[in-house]
Structure formats: C-alpha cells, structure tokens
Amino acid sequence: MKALMLVALLACVGTSASYAPGDADSDVEAKVVAMQHMWGQAYVSKDPKALERILDDAFVNVDSDGILQTKAEAVAEVRTSTAAQFLTESMVVHLHGNAAIVTGVFEIKGVDRGKPYAQRERFVDTWLYKNGQWVSIAGLVTRVGQ
Amino acid sequence: MRTIRLLLVLVCATSLSGSAQEASESDAAKAVRVLEGERVKAQSRNDNHALDLIFDNALVYIEYGKLVTKGDYLSRIKSAKPQQQQIAPGAMTVRTVENTAIVVGTYRETYVKDGKSSSKRWRFVDTWVKKQGSWLLVAAAAVPLSK
C-alpha cells in the first residue's frame, strides 16, 4: 500500500515538477516542497530512482559531519537506508528567479544494527529550474543547535 | 646547467598550470570567487556596509545549527568585538549554472574564548544568484568538520 502511495506521489510530482514562467510563486513553492517530501520518502522506501530524478547530476551535499557527498553517493545511501520514518517540518521556500532555496528541519527514525535511532537535523537545499524541471543542485545538513 | 634547466621547467610548468586553471573557470565563477574573498574581508573587519551589499535581503544563513536572517547576522557582526574571530579560507570550488553559483569549500575559524585561542575547521556551501547584474549571496551554511 505504501509503495502504491509513493508511486502515486511520484507520478503527481513528476508531472507537476515542470512549471511555466507564468506560474504563481505559491505554485512553484508547493512543487518544490512536494519534491522535498518525496526526497525524504525515498529514504523510507529505499527508492533510488526517485532520488535520481530529484538530484542534478552535479549535485553536491555536505552532511552533518562535514563530509562531501555526490549524487552517486546520495543514491547509494538511499539503497542501504535504515530509515523507517522521515518527517520534514518548518519548510520555508525563497524563490530567486529560476532558483529556490529551501530551509527546514527533518526528523529521521529507524533501526540500525538492532539499535533504534532518531536524528533531528536542519537542512538548506538549493533547487534550480533546469531543462523544464526542478532539480536539487546542492544541500547541507547540520544537527539542530550544532 | 642542469639546475638552471630544472628551474626553467619548473617555472614553465607552474605558469602553464596556473593559466590552465584560470582558463577552466568561467568569468562568472571568477567573479563569485572574488566576492567570497570580499565577504571574508568584510566579516573580519566587521564591515556591515560591505556585507549589506553582498547579502541578498532574503539571505538564509545556517551556522551552529541555527537559522538566521540577514538582519540577525548583521546585528551579530555589528556587536562582535574587532578581531574576536579570524577566518582563513581554504580550498573552494565554484560551479555556475546560468544565474546561480554554488560554492563549496572549507575555512578555519580562529577565535578567542575566555582568554584562550581556539580554532575550528568548517565546510560550507554558499549559493549566489545574479540579480540585475550583481551576484548576491542568497544562502550560506557551514558545518564543523568532525575530523
């Protein structure tokens, strides 16, 4: 059932990820926020294909330990994800022409090697409208209050 | 004679590698790199006016896991004691796509706390957007390096 819901979400966001230049800011913000949620859900459903569509080929991320991560590494991380729950909150989108900055906080819960864990981290992601769709080109994650 | 030849080869190799690096970076990337340097200088001098020009009004800044606005950041810089912190930039890469630039790099922050000098290395991601002909910093975030 969860897989079906994710497929429906993917299909929905997939068709609406593109935007016409005349789109209202609120429409664009909603699309980008939907893609952020999809990004998080990819960790729960271990769905690398979703991430491949969301991330630009030259995507780069800095994790909360300061380690650099490429798109290939991010996709590989999703494949081996131990996340059971991924909640995103307090998202704010700032639009700058064909670029968007999204800030927010996510909480990820799961079980790793038999031990339950819960992480709460703040993120900032940069999105770009490129070749007719929004893709994330950079991100940074930091522990809340780090 | 051998020493002179070796020196000549070294000089040529150094200048060639320098020009190749310059040629591979676009004018936009060079402009953003210069602005990153200006920002560090302005921050070291607590120069609010310069930072005000560099920062977009909608700047989002994440440091120590906290989200601060342009206003919050400028207030902090204004109240900071001169030379309380020093920033030494490390390596950085600049990637530009149309009117957006992503800068990823490291820097070392040296600060004095309770009379003791300490330092910490950070990795940062900055996003610049070109608006009306000028590059403005729209997002900046840094994470302390654990190793």
Phi, psi of B118 (to 5 degrees): -135, 160
Residues 6+ apart with CB under 8 A from B60: A92, A94, A101, A103, A124, B67, B68, B69, B138, B139, B140
Domain boundaries, chain B: 26-144
Q: Which CATH architecture has domain B26-144?
A: Roll (3.10)
B10 CA to centre of own chain: 30
Partner residue facing B62 (CB), from A58, A130, A140: A140
Strand, helix or coil at A22?
coil
| pTM (predicted TM-score) | 0.83
Average pLDDT taken over every residue of chain B:
84
Under 8 Å between Cβ of A94 and A100: yes
The predicted pLDDT at position A22 comes to 61
Tell me the pLDDT tens digit for each residue of A91-141: 999 999 999 999 999 999 999 999 999 999 999 999 999 999 999 999 999
Tell me the pLDDT tens digit for each residue of B48-94: 999 999 999 999 999 889 999 999 999 988 777 666 678 899 999 99
Give B146's contacts in chain A (Cβ within 8 Å): 65-66
Give B142's contacts in chain A (Cβ within 8 Å): 140, 142
Partner residue facing B138 (CB), from A101, A137, A146: A101
Mean pLDDT, rounded, for B110-117: 83
The predicted pLDDT at position A53 comes to 95
Phi, psi of B134 (to 5 degrees): -120, 140
Tell me if chain A has a CB within 8 Å of the CB of B132.
no
Partner residue facing A101 (CB), from B64, B139, B143: B139
Q: Cβ–Cβ of B127/A126 closer than 8 Å? A: yes
User: For the purposes of burial, counting CB atoms within 10 Å of the CB of A77, is it exposed (0-12), middle (13-18) or buried (19 or more)?
Assistant: middle
Q: In the structure, what pLDDT confidence band is assigned to residue B20 with cuts at 50, 70 and 90?
A: very low
Higher pLDDT, A3 or A58: A58
Nearest one of B73, B63, B145, B146 to A103, comparing CA atoms: B63
User: What is the domain class of A2-143 according to CATH?
Assistant: alpha beta
